[in-house]
A = this chain, B = another copy of it.
Amino acid sequence: MLAHLALIGTGHIGGSLLLALRAQGRVDRAVGYDRDASVARRALALGIIDEIAGDAAEAAEGAALVVLATPVAAIVETARAIAPRLGAACLVTDVGSVKSLVGEVERALPYPERYVGSHPIAGSERSGPEAACATLFLGRPCVVTPTARTAPDAVDEIAALWEAVGARVERLDPLRHDAVVAATSHLPHVAAFALAAALERPLDPVAPHLAGDSLRDGTRVAASEPATWVDILAANRAALLPLVDALGAELAAIRAAIAAGDKGALRSCLERARRGRARVVEAG
């Protein structure tokens, strides 16, 4: 039971975690803050938080657990903002999709041994507290990224928190995490953004009536909040760019084969694609 939980950033992911912890009876009182006051008010109205603090530091004062659920680009500055008010026993986690900033967060905090980075792989194209859902993490992976500075019992406590809301916890080094999600999440988002942007052109008015699952599924995450993904893609640039180049090279190979009418070359591309799909998507 968390006597006082602080939620900084009261949108989709943070809101879902709160609803899930509340459904498990694990939260006594939740204090929230969001730099967008309307988002915080809506989270309050939805029962995600019990009260709204005047700023992030005030929310964190006396907390047993602080969840940083801001956009990736605001995590480090938020850690700096709450640092003066944190107690020595307070656990801190974040839910950001890029973990190379874990070292900076540690340097910002007075008790870095009590900070454990988290990345629940359970987002969707939806955003805001209205999209929060207590079952969002059920059966989903959640990476936690302890470092040499992290206290083992802090890792166990954060892992237990995610397991309590139904997630499968994987422990990974922060940089290894970033390399993996560049392939499994960030590159698929780039592909969806490029596809959807290519269709932002005058189209036959019948086109939306003929949209099949390949179009729906292939562009779904292009409906995501742009600000969130600008941050994520920019923050994971080093791991992501070589993969974007590989995607560009495969697209060029398919284009060349179609243009040349070279069915053998096209078939090689499509067979490579089928093997790639089988490789990255778990059976079942």
Q: Indicate if the CB atoms of A282 and B217 lie closer than 8 Å.
A: no
Chain A interface, >50% SS class:
helix
- A47 smallest CB distance to B (angstroms): 26
Whether the Cβ atoms of B197 and A273 lie closer than 8 Å is yes
Within 8 A of B (CB), among A239-259: 240-241, 243-255, 258-259
| Range for the number of chain A residues in contact with chain B | 35 or more
CA A123 to CA B252, docked complex, whole Å: 26
Interface residue? A192 (CB, 8 A): yes
Binding site for B on A (CB under 8 A): 121-124, 140-141, 143, 168, 170, 172, 176, 179-181, 183-185, 187-201, 203-204, 206-224, 226-227, 229-231, 233-234, 237, 240-241, 243-255, 258-259, 261, 263, 266-267, 269-282
Name which residue of chain B comes closest to A275, CB basis.
B200
The smallest beta-carbon distance between A214 and chain B, in angstroms, is 4
B276 engages A196 (CB within 8 Å): yes
Cα–Cα distance between A25 and B214 once the two chains are bound (Å): 31
For residue A221, give the distance in angstroms from its CB to the closest CB of chain B.
5
Query: Given A183-B199, A273-B194, A276-B197, is A214 in contact with B221 using a C-beta cutoff of 8 Å?
Result: yes
The answer to whether B278 touches A259 (Cβ under 8 A) is: no
Counting every copy of the chain, the complex holds 2
Q: A218-B192, A243-B198, A247-B195 are in contact. Are A263 and B280 (CB under 8 A)?
A: no
10 intermolecular pairs with C-beta atoms under 8 Å apart: A176-B206, A188-B218, A194-B251, A200-B276, A217-B220, A222-B273, A233-B258, A241-B258, A245-B255, A251-B251
Residues of B within 8 A of A281 (CB): 208, 211, 215-216, 219
Measured between C-beta atoms, what is the minimum distance from A20 to chain B in Å?
A: 17
Residues of chain B lying within 8 A (CB to CB) of residue A263 = 230-231, 234
Residues of B within 8 A of A179 (CB): 204
If the complex has contacts A194-B247, A195-B187, A219-B188, are A241 and B255 also in contact, measured as CB distance less than 8 A?
A: yes
CA distance A246 to B198 in the complex (A): 5
Nearest 3 Cβ contacts at the A-B interface: A200-B276, A226-B270, A217-B217
Beta-carbon contact of A223 and B277 below 8 Å: yes
Q: In the complex, given contacts A190-B251, A191-B192, what are 13 additional A-B residue pairs having Cβ atoms less than 8 angstroms apart?
A: A180-B210, A185-B214, A189-B214, A194-B254, A196-B277, A198-B246, A199-B279, A217-B218, A226-B267, A229-B270, A233-B266, A241-B255, A248-B248
